[in-house]
């Protein structure tokens, strides 16, 4: 374990992580399944900040403490799953250990497999902790069973097929998690629809009152900050509801505003582009035509 900064440690190997948690030596050098209840209480004071080098997928049960993600703290009162990618900072702030399990694997374990490229498409590794996956009892049983299958495989006699089998199981595991997250967007539709309404109000307010010529178009990061969600979660949620991600929603509102200005003002197309935050009219023309299949000038002339 390397001391990367006076306030946190960097953990580079599964063995270091096990030592850090006060657990026995792992059964495999770069993949591990940890039963959280086995973490000894003696490590509670050392479980502070550490920079993670692994994929960590955890199912939490009866969690009584708090987790810190970035600068915010989150409480968990029910069984949930969280997904952490390499390079993220983790903080645990209470002495009570939670029940549940964690699947931990180093990026090197999947490096030579198609999963190494596919895993980048699973947006839930970029979600904030408060956007965790809530499981039904049936789903929870399935997830735990999949973790146990992975553990059983690497604890068995290692042969030339072992890594292939484990990577296939991790791939299946992540596909189920992807399914469950998409289900959550649907079953928690009230919260999702509320977020969609807030987005529409935010965009309308921005385009009606902000000085776009000076400030430019709102970014996905800005929008997600205003709505207190992570950019990836917001885009995934919107895509599940509307088929469009956050950037596409911003562009849709932009085109709506542009059409209004082209039909109700005498501003030239270049002036409209500038008023909408475009430095170059050509960029505005290209986006407008891409979204409407007609140029801004042709659109204006169709109303004359």
Specify the range with the lowest mean pLDDT, choosing from 48-52, 91-95, 235-239: 91-95
| Strand-pair category, 31-35 with 99-105 | antiparallel
Pick the closest to residue 212 from 119, 295, 275, 302 (CA basis): 275
pLDDT of residue 228: 86
* Averaged pLDDT of the chain: 82
**Quick check: 51 pLDDT over 80?**
no
Structural domain boundaries in the chain: 2-187, 190-301
- Predicted confidence at residue 126, as pLDDT, reads 82
Mean pLDDT confidence for 66-90? 62
- Asked whether the predicted pLDDT for residue 71 surpasses 50, the reply is no
Q: pLDDT of 119-167, one tens digit each?
A: 988 988 888 766 778 888 889 899 999 999 999 999 998 889 999 999 9
Does pLDDT of 174 surpass 50? yes
Sign of CA dihedral 100, 27, 147, 8: positive
Give the chain as a 3 state SS string: CEEEECCEEECCCHHHHHHHHCCCCCCCCCEEEEEHHHCCHHHCCCCCEEECCCEEEEEEECCCCEEEECCEEEECCCCEEEEECCCCEEEECCCCCCEEEEEEECHHHHCCCCHHHHHHHCHHHHCCHHHCEECCHHHHHHHHHHHHHHHHHHHCCCCCCHHHHHHHHHHHHHHHHHHHHHHHHHHCHHHHHHHHHHHHHHHHHHHHHCCHHHHCCCCHHHHHHHHCCCHHHHHHHHHHHHCCCHHHHHHHHHHHHHHHHHHHCCCCHHHHHHHCCCCCHHHHHHHHHHHHCCCHHHHHHCCC
**pLDDT reported for residue 8:** 63
Question: Does residue 13 register a pLDDT over 60?
Answer: yes
- Position 179 pLDDT exceeds 60: yes
pLDDT confidence of residue 129: 65
For residue 48, pLDDT over 70 is answered with: no
For the purposes of burial, counting CB atoms within 10 Å of the CB of 81, is it exposed (0-12), middle (13-18) or buried (19 or more)?
Answer: buried
Domain topology for 2-187: Jelly Rolls (2.60.120)
Instruction: Give the pLDDT score at 190.
Output: 64
* β-bridge pairing 49-51 and 8-10: parallel
pLDDT at position 82 is: 85
Residue 242 pLDDT exceeds 90: no
Q: State mean pLDDT over 192-216.
A: 82
Mean pLDDT over residues 222-243, rounded? 88
Q: Which of 110-114, 156-160, 165-169, 182-186 has the lowest mean pLDDT?
A: 182-186
Choice between 218 and 51, residue whose per-residue pLDDT is larger = 218
Q: Which residue has the higher pLDDT, 179 or 75?
A: 179
With contact defined as beta carbons under 8 Å apart, do 10 and 50 qualify? Answer: yes
Instruction: Starting at the earlier edge strand, list the strands of the sheet with 66-69.
Output: 2-5, 8-10, 49-51, 89-92, 66-69, 72-75
Q: Identify the pLDDT of residue 222.
A: 92
Please check the confidence at residue 75 and state whether its pLDDT lies above 60. Answer: no
Residue 250, pLDDT score: 92
Q: Using a CB cutoff of 8 Å and minimum separation of 24, what contacts does 76-81 make? A: 76/132, 78/134, 79/134, 79/135, 79/140, 80/132, 80/133, 80/134, 80/135, 81/57, 81/132, 81/133, 81/134, 81/135, 81/143, 81/177, 81/180
How much is the pLDDT for 223? Answer: 92
CA gap 244, 240 in Å, rounded: 8
Q: Which tops the pLDDT comparison, 84 or 105?
A: 105
Q: And the tokens for 176?
A: 């189920």
Task: Give the pLDDT score at 131.
Answer: 78
pLDDT tens digits, 251-302? 999 999 999 899 888 899 999 999 998 888 999 999 999 999 999 999 988 8
**Cβ–Cβ under 8 Å, residues 194 and 234:** no
CATH superfamily of 190-301: Homeodomain-like (1.10.10.60)
């Amino acid at each position: 374990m390397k001391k990367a900064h006076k306030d946190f440690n960097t953990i580079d190997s599964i063995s270091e992580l096990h030592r850090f948690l006060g657990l026995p030596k792992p059964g495999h050098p770069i993949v591990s399944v940890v039963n959280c209840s086995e973490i000894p209480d003696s490590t509670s004071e050392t479980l502070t900040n550490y920079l993670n080098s692994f994929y960590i997928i955890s199912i939490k049960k009866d969690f009584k403490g708090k987790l810190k993600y970035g600068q915010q703290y989150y409480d968990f009162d029910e069984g949930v799953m969280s997904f952490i990618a390499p390079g993220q900072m983790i903080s645990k702030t209470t002495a009570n250990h939670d029940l549940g399990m964690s699947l931990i694997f180093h990026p090197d374990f999947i490096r030579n497999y198609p999963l190494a490229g596919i895993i980048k498409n699973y947006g839930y590794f970029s979600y904030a902790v408060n956007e965790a996956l809530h499981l039904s009892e049936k789903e929870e049983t399935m997830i735990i069973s999949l973790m146990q299958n992975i553990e059983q495989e690497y604890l068995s006699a290692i042969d030339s097929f072992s890594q292939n089998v484990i990577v296939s199981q991790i791939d299946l595991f992540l596909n189920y998690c992807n399914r469950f997250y998409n289900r959550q967007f649907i079953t928690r539709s009230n919260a999702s629809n509320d977020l969609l309404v807030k987005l529409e109000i935010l965009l309308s307010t921005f385009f009606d009152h902000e000085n776009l010529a000076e400030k430019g178009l709102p970014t996905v990061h800005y929008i997600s900050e205003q709505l207190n969600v992570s950019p990836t979660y917001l885009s995934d949620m919107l895509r599940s509801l509307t088929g469009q991600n956050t950037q596409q929603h911003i562009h849709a509102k932009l085109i709506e505003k542009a059409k209004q200005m082209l039909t109700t003002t005498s501003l030239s197309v270049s002036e409209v582009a500038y008023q909408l935050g475009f430095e170059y009219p050509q960029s505005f023309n290209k986006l407008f035509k891409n979204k409407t299949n007609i140029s801004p000038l042709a659109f204006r002339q169709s109303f004359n």
